[in-house]
Amino acid sequence: MLMFILRRLVQTVPVIFGVTIVVFIIMQLVPGDPAVLLAGEGATKETIEALRVQLGLNQPLYVQYVEYVSNIFRGDFGTSLKNNQPVLDEILLRLPITLELAIFSTMITIVLGMAAGIISAVKPYSITDTVVMVIALLGISLPSFWFGLMLMYGFSVKLQIFPVAGWDSIAHIVLPAFTLGAGGAAIVARMTRSSMLEVIRQDYIRTARAKGVKERVIVYKHALRNALIPVITVVGLQFGALLGGTVLVESIFAINGLGRMIVDSIRMRDLPMVQGGVLVASLVFVAVNLLVDILYRFFNKRIELN
């Protein structure tokens, strides 16, 4: 197990390098000069050029990139061009909020998705199965920003049950978490149903039923455990999608998380902040994928980690 984890960690190195290169290139292609934005309207060419030299923007791109990567290895993510604060401090302030939102959304995805998938699998091709799968299809099809606005309008503006925006209490978490988790729950429901139906048709399930084992024990102890492997894969991928989806949801519900920070930094062409935010989000996604691989072994001892 230890060697597997070490190999996976080594394999993540080129992935992280690739992320930094892609983000760096994309930010260079975005119109606008950070020095001009920082200098403000009416700034002289001399002032703008002095800012460019101060920020190192006058150096060749490869020199800027190499310096950025070398600083990361020293734990220095740079300084924000917007507020002149260390990038890492800002990320550590925003990251817990985004992780909290992603974790609550994942919990909703797992609970709703697996419950719906199990119900559909236990009663395949019934009215219940059809209704659940239609709802799942709608959950996949509806854009998250539209669904979030509808939830906000219905439960915040009309019914006034939950607050419109912010991140101060459990009540503030409910609507953003449901907005993010609904689409993932629909995908998990379809995968759970498909995997459960395949397992339920196996000979050992028929044998258990022939021996008089209770249906509940068959479903939850025998069938569900063996059907979880593909579901775990989907949940792991959905967590990565949720991290990306927080950009829209945090903007809609005015949540000061990592996603909103990245969006604001892109507008300001705050290159160090964008690179640092995307890099940290990528590291979290890689860590979740590693955890998913380890869970494979936990749920199925026959799987060899190599």
Per-residue pLDDT reduced to its tens digit, 27-69: 777 777 777 777 776 778 888 888 788 777 778 888 888 888 8
Query: Helices in 30-163 by DSSP H: which ranges?
Result: 34-39, 45-55, 61-73, 87-122, 127-141, 144-151
Please name the amino acid found at residue 298. F
pLDDT of residue 304: 55
Q: Which residue do the tokens 């890689």 mark?
A: 286
pLDDT of residue 77: 83
* Distance from C-alpha of 54 to C-alpha of 70, rounded to nearest angstrom: 18
Q: Which two tokens stand for residue 211?
A: 């021996």
Ranges of the chain with pLDDT below 70: 1, 4, 41, 296-306
Integer-rounded Cα Rg, in Å, for the chain is: 24
pLDDT of residue 180: 86
Q: Do 254 and 299 contact (CB within 8 A), yes or no?
A: no
pLDDT of residue 156: 87
Q: Which residue do the tokens 């000061």 mark?
A: 256
pTM here? 0.77
> How many Cβ atoms sit within 10 Å of the Cβ of residue 294?
13
Q: Which two tokens stand for residue 28?
A: 């260079």
Count of alpha carbons within 13 angstroms of residue 163, beta-carbon side: 12
* Distance from C-alpha of 55 to C-alpha of 271, rounded to nearest angstrom: 11
- Range 94-299 classified under CATH 1.10.357.10: no
Q: What's 290's DSSP letter?
A: H
Q: What's 304's DSSP letter?
A: -
Where does the chain hold its CATH 1.10.3720.10 domain(s)?
Answer: 94-299
For 191-207, the pLDDT digits (tens) are 888 888 888 888 888 88
